Amino acid sequence: AADASYSVLEVTVAGTGALRRRRQRSNLPDGWGTLTTPFGTYQTLRIVTTIIDVDSAVIGTTTIPATTLPTQREYKWLAKGVHVPLLTITTTEVAGVQQVTGVEYRDIYRKITPLAAHSALLDAGLSLYPNPSAVGTALRLAVPAGSGPLAVTITDVVGKTLFSRRYASPGPEVVLDAATLGDLRGVLLLTVQTSQGTATRRVVRQ
């Protein structure tokens, strides 16, 4: 079940006016499962925090009507024994659509060496077209020669898996036909994983 809390922040400047912000924050657990990031793989619980801010102001003797700001949401993946979220995705709702405004995940310092360049090679040789594309059309994925077996995963911006498939013997081009993609639309993240590493592309389906 969701829990909610309320807070008020008020700043007053003598002789000028005051600004007040009222905030409602609610937390709702909405899913659990396995999360994999560069930091590791964990069994996690996802919490969605919804933040609604209402601003009002007084300037001199003039009162400015209260204004409700765009709704913000924080999607946080929590794991037992880890005291901070492993992954946090922040969105702002604009015209009824959630736009991603921030992504943070826990990691450690990693020194980049030539031996760790495989993912960079895959990333440099990976292309996807057409992009943007229309619902009902195919997507063509060009991968570097010699990539070998690969896995393709498509998620939405908050991490929900919408499509996942392994290709044992792909050629230089993988075609995701219209029937496979169905009516997927919006801003999506397409991730390709091969023996050379992992690369992700932002996909727009209209």
What was the pLDDT predicted at 113?
44
CA distances from 124 to 41, 107, 179, 199 (A): 26, 23, 28, 9
The overall pTM is greater than 0.85: no
Question: What is the location of CATH 2.60.40.1930 in the chain?
Answer: 114-205
- Judge whether residue 201 has pLDDT over 50: yes
Mean pLDDT, to the nearest integer, of 143-167? 84
d(CA 173, CA 127): 10
Return the pLDDT at 141: 87
**CATH superfamily of the domain spanning 114-205:** Macroglobulin (MG2) domain (2.60.40.1930)
Task: Name the β-bridge partners of 3.
Answer: 27
pLDDT, tens digit, 9 for 90 and up, residues 36-88: 887 888 999 999 999 999 999 999 888 888 999 999 999 999 999 888 999 99
